[in-house]
Structure formats: structure tokens, C-alpha cells
Amino acid sequence: MSKLLVVEDDDTIGKVLESSLRLHGYAVSWQRTGHDALTEAAASEFDLVLLDLGLPDLDGVEVCRRLRAMLPSAVLVILTARTEEMDVVVGLEAGADDYLTKPVRLGELLARVRAHLRRGGTSAPTSPALTIGHLRVDTAGRRVSLAGSEVALRSKEFDLLARLAEEPGVAVSRETLMSEVWDEHWYGSTKTLDVHIAALRRKLAASATSTDQVPEISTLRGHGYRLERPRS
Ligand code: CA
């Protein structure tokens, strides 16, 4: 049974989330403050966290950052009433994998939770490692290395790179990436995608010992992204 941590100070929303998620077969721990959420995360493992950014005691983004450090393999989804893109970007940069804006539509939330847990789940991929220039993406072991040294990526960053690496030199649309890496029912902003691409570029560049080792991810305006084939 998947274990979910719900962090929400609003009684009405918290109760709805807790009861619907339980009804759908998840084990739920509902915490109302940032402090209680961190205590709970220190005490047990979770597969997925739903985190309200507007908490009464601690800054939601800071809670996000700490939860990310404590639960490195959990999927972290932020809930925010604030629709400003900056809050979303800051949350994603603090370690969130995805976000939902309030008011949350329950059907969408459940679909998203299901998709995240399925993806992070039990199916064993059997495809061999992909090698593109200095980059090696081992999909079975979920590891990435660049010129032999390992690059530590978060779960969604890995999925995104693995998807692009399946077809080097091929343009992959934003819609395809959002639906295959995040959620087949995606119909929100694709800001999440841009933030993850930026993080990928940063981490790959930081791992390289020379610029010619860095795999190039091109932005195709109005379309999507392409992992370039190495020049030879
Ligand atoms: Ca709140």
C-alpha cells in the first residue's frame, strides 16, 4: 500500500484529501503544520507527499526543501493557492516534482497521484543502457553518468532525460514530455517542464570536466526539446 503524507492546515481541504485518498486505498498521514510534517517525515517513509505551501508556522518552500532532503525517493507535489508562476518555480527548484493549484479538482488530483505512483513503481524496465556521446543513461538501474562519473538526478529529471535519450536528435514535443514523464491527463501549465530542463542542464554541466562532454539539450520554441546527437 502506498503511503502518502498530506500537509495542509485547512481543515476542510485536509479532511477531503484524507478521506478521498483513503477511499482510494492509500495510507494517509495528514499533518497540519510544517513542523509536524517534518517530524512525521523523520519518523517514517512516504511514497508521495502533497504539500500545501501556505502553512501557519514555517515557510512552505523551506518545508519543501527539507522534505526533499529527508525523503529523496518520494514524489513531492506542492499545492498552492498562489497562482503566481514564481511561487511554482521556487517550489519546483526547492525539490518538488509537480504542482497543483487550488482549488484542487479531486479527480485531477487522484489521477495525478495514481500516475506518479505508477511511474515510480514496481515495473522493472528491461531496456539496456543508452549511450549518447559521453552520456550514459542506464534505465534499468536508473543511473546517469557523464564521461564515467555519476550524475545525481532527481526522479523526474531522470525520467525526462531518459525520454529524450531514447531518441537523440529527434524533437520531442512539450505535450509528449508532459504526458509521458508526468501525467497522461496533463492539462495545466508546462512550467514544470522548463524548470526540470534547466535543472538537468545545470547538473550535467556541473558534472562534466570539459565543455565538450556536456550533452546539449536544445530548446525548440513553440514545440519542445531535443537532445542533440554528439558531433563527431
Ligand atoms: Ca494553507
Q: CATH number for the domain including 142?
A: 1.10.10.10
In a domain, 125, yes or no: no
Task: State in Å: Cα 67 to ligand 1 middle.
Answer: 17
What percentage of residues in the chain have a pLDDT greater than 90?
Answer: 56
Q: Which tens digit of pLDDT belongs to each residue from 123-142?
A: 444 456 888 999 999 887 88
Given the C-alpha cell 495510507, which residue does it identify?
Answer: 27
The whole-angstrom separation of Cα 18 and Cα 94 is: 25
Q: In the structure, what pLDDT confidence band is assigned to residue 189 with cuts at 50, 70 and 90?
A: low
The reply to whether 138 and 115 lie within a common domain is no
Task: State in Å: Cα 7 to ligand 1 middle.
Answer: 9
The whole-angstrom separation of Cα 156 and Cα 196 is: 8
Task: State in Å: Cα 56 to ligand 1 middle.
Answer: 7
Task: State in Å: Cα 33 to ligand 1 middle.
Answer: 9
The whole-angstrom separation of Cα 10 and Cα 57 is: 13
Task: State in Å: Cα 9 to ligand 1 middle.
Answer: 5
Q: In the structure, what pLDDT confidence band is assigned to residue 92 with cuts at 50, 70 and 90?
A: confident
**Domain-terminating residue out of 65, 86, 119:** 119
Query: Residue 18 sits in a domain of what CATH number?
Result: 3.40.50.2300
The reply to whether 100 and 176 lie within a common domain is no
Q: How far is CA 7 from the centre of its chain?
A: 17
Q: In the structure, what pLDDT confidence band is assigned to residue 187 with cuts at 50, 70 and 90?
A: low
| Domain hosting residue 213, numbered range | 130-227
Task: State in Å: Cα 60 to ligand 1 middle.
Answer: 9
Indicate the pTM of the whole model. Answer: 0.62
Task: State in Å: Cα 14 to ligand 1 middle.
Answer: 10
Identity of the highest mean pLDDT range in 29-38, 168-177, 191-200: 29-38
Q: How many domains does the chain have?
A: 2
Q: What is the pLDDT of residue 82?
A: 60
The reply to whether 9 and 105 lie within a common domain is yes
Task: State in Å: Cα 51 to ligand 1 middle.
Answer: 9
Q: Is the pLDDT of residue 224 over 50?
A: yes
CB 100 within 8 A of CB 112: yes
**Domain-terminating residue out of 97, 119, 141:** 119
The reply to whether 202 and 112 lie within a common domain is no
Q: In the structure, what pLDDT confidence band is assigned to residue 84 with cuts at 50, 70 and 90?
A: low
